[in-house]
Structure 1
Amino acid sequence: MYRFLLTPRWWGINVFVLLAIPFCVFMGSWQLGRFEARVDDHRTARAQDVSNEKEPARPLAELLPVDKATSGKQTTATGRYDKQLLVPDRELDGRSGYYVLTMLRVDGGRALPVVRGWLPGTPDPAKAPAPPAGQVTITGALQASETPGDNGVSAQGGLPAGQTAAISSASLVNLVPYDVYDAWVTLDKGDSGMAAVPASSPADTGLDLKAFQNLGYTGEWFVFAGFVVFMWFRLLRREVEMIRDAELGIVPEGPTAEQASPSAQDPASSPVR
């Protein structure tokens, strides 16, 4: 009865099933691994945030370049404040406002972007406190350069003079006449009465929408594998039932050959010759 499984048609079906199921299981396992990796990164970032608060501040040169291991760590730098910019569309505690970003000229002439604090409302240079004069030593959390799309950062364009959408060397190179570090620092305590900006976690280390998308894709791939198995058994059962019906002489429902033939029609309904 099951000799039909050796026909070319069923050979094709069986090969497809044997290839589709492992592929679906592999893709589901891969997506699950991606989700678990994001969970581990999130836990590591949480533990790192706690350790960063306890560790003493280290010189900037020891923490560069910024990566997942050094992002958020306390650093210290000495220099003189120079050009000041405003970073619009930044939220803090559910309120909309802007960052006050000031370039700190350190030894060698390069500039370190320093977020001195946050102010509510629309960016206004008149409300942004001027930076302290003379040589200063700052302490804060080291952060990696932003790119459009990270933490809601919008693309640069159409902003008034004295504003920047992203805190990165690529965005600041056209706004200041000197080299800029590919990193920035947010002060532990807001300067001149401004609210301090907390350090953000490195990119791709949080339980964000992408992480739960990976979990959703995991379920989808395993459902696809189950659907392939279900359809194979359904086709097999249908084929077996058709063979049994043929052996028992059971005629399938529907018009018979005689009923479907034009010669079997009612003579009265035939056209007159």
Structure 2
Amino acid sequence: MKKTLKLIPLFTCLTLITGCVYHVGGNRDNHTANVTLNETLELDATALSQLNIDAGAGYLNIIGSDTNTIMVEAKIRTDEERRYTLTLKKSGNQAMLVAEQKSYGSWSGSSPYIDLTVTVPKTLALDIDDGSGDISISRINNSITLDDGSGSIEISKINGDIQLQDGSGWITLENINGNINVEDGSGDLTISNTSGNIYIDDGSGQLTVLNTSGKVTVDDGSGDITIENAGGLNIIESGSGGLKVSNISGQMNIGS
């Protein structure tokens, strides 16, 4: 999802039932994040199959639950002109959550952010484009696609495939029933207690895979690699760093 910044007229629309909140300011001179706000959005998800999220800076916590509603609790740090957008809308069988700051220049002092806690029906698929900040996702019984800039990522208790592209920050994936595809720039990566095949394209950082019934494929740049208790192993490139492999039940191929 490509993020664009536009200068638009001042308007305010608040509809908690449909889940739409806009706050946009036009003062170009004040860029200090000195205002803290709390917002809550709610959307009926009875007929929905997927939630798309476009988030900027801030913590993102997503929790699957036995519910028919998407509930968003947001803590917003912004300036006095409230230069942010927070919306939750339905389109067909999908919903779209947008949480981003509207900046027309550089910020001084404290940086703006929007921390999000999102409770969703656990059957919803997730497609997430996140800028910066830590991410936690748990208890989802569907696929997850995540494109993240920076910040730590923790994903657990998932019944579905995971497609993850990350710039920097440590990553922990555990208790995953599904295929995992990770493209990681830098930072330590740990994957444990999974079923399904795992493909990892890793730039730098320590890589650890423990207790998986699937085949593990690794293309690594630098950093130590540890693979223990896997159904199969194919190391395309181990790069620089130590390599520790044990208890591979299936076919094993180790390249350079």
Q: Which band: TM-score by shorter chain? A: under 0.3
TM-score relative to the length of structure 2: 0.20
- More strand, by proportion: 2
Who wins on radius of gyration, i.e. which is larger? 1
Higher RCO (C-alpha under 8 Å, 6+ residues apart)? 1
